[in-house]
């Protein structure tokens, strides 16, 4: 069985986003008093007292720029939390699997070609295998069901 890897927001992109996000806004860090924010830089929840920043991020647009795709109307941006300063990044594994998630599939040209609701942490590997069994699927986004927010991407193995 293939093991899939969650891709955090790349460090080079994080440096840009911490200054000016994908909506063109300058961001202001804050201290997270409560903790629990899903950090897309290291793919874990924030701890109380950590400095974080909420930025607008366009993951499909960034991927399309690398791959030459043109996602057209599927290009979207949304809010994501990241550390206010550089962090160590993810430590592996599949994060944020403790709630219902959507595994959204994208083709090589950046179009949505399906998706799947995942309700059980044990179903993630199966959902990725199912997605990548379709030769049209180039990558998937894992998104929160309750807000639709981007959590991370998984690319074809």
User: 81 is written with which tokens?
Assistant: 């939390």
Q: CB–CB of 37/52 below 8 Å?
A: yes
DSSP 122: G
Average pLDDT over residues 8-28: 94
> Given pLDDT bands bounded at 50, 70 and 90, which one contains residue 157?
confident
Residue 147's pLDDT is what? Answer: 87
What is the SS3 string spanning 66-119? HHCCCCHHHCCCEEEEEECCCCCCCCCCCCCCCCCEEEEEEECCCCEEEEEEEC
What does the domain layout of the chain look like in residue ranges? 11-83, 101-155
**CB neighbour list of residue 30: distance below 8 Å, 6 or more residues apart:** 51, 52, 53, 54, 84
Q: How far apart are CA 137 and CA 107, in angstroms?
A: 5
Mean pLDDT over 14-19 rounds to: 94
Question: Tell me, what's the pLDDT at 92?
Answer: 84
H or E segment at 136? none
Tokens of residue 125, six digits:
């590997």
Q: pLDDT per residue over 58-109, tens digit each?
A: 999 999 999 999 999 999 999 999 999 999 999 888 999 999 999 999 999 9
Please report the pLDDT score of residue 1 as a whole number.
Answer: 58
Q: pTM here?
A: 0.93
Q: What is the pLDDT of residues 33-59, one digit of tens each?
A: 999 999 999 999 999 999 999 999 999
């Amino acid at each position: 069985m293939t093991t899939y890897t969650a891709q955090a927001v790349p460090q080079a992109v994080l440096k840009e986003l911490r200054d000016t996000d994908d909506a063109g806004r300058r961001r202001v860090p804050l201290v997270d008093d409560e903790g629990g924010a899903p950090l897309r830089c290291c793919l874990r929840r924030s701890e109380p007292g950590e400095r974080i920043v909420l930025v607008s991020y366009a993951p499909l647009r960034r991927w399309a720029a690398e791959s030459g795709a043109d996602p057209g109307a599927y290009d979207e941006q949304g809010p994501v939390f990241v550390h206010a300063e550089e962090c160590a990044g993810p430590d592996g594994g599949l994060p944020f699997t403790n709630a219902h998630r959507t595994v959204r599939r994208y083709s090589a040209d950046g179009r949505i070609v399906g998706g799947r609701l995942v309700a059980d942490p044990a179903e993630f590997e199966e959902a990725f295998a199912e997605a990548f069994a379709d030769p049209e699927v180039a990558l998937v986004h894992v998104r929160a069901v309750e807000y639709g927010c981007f959590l991370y991407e998984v690319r074809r193995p």
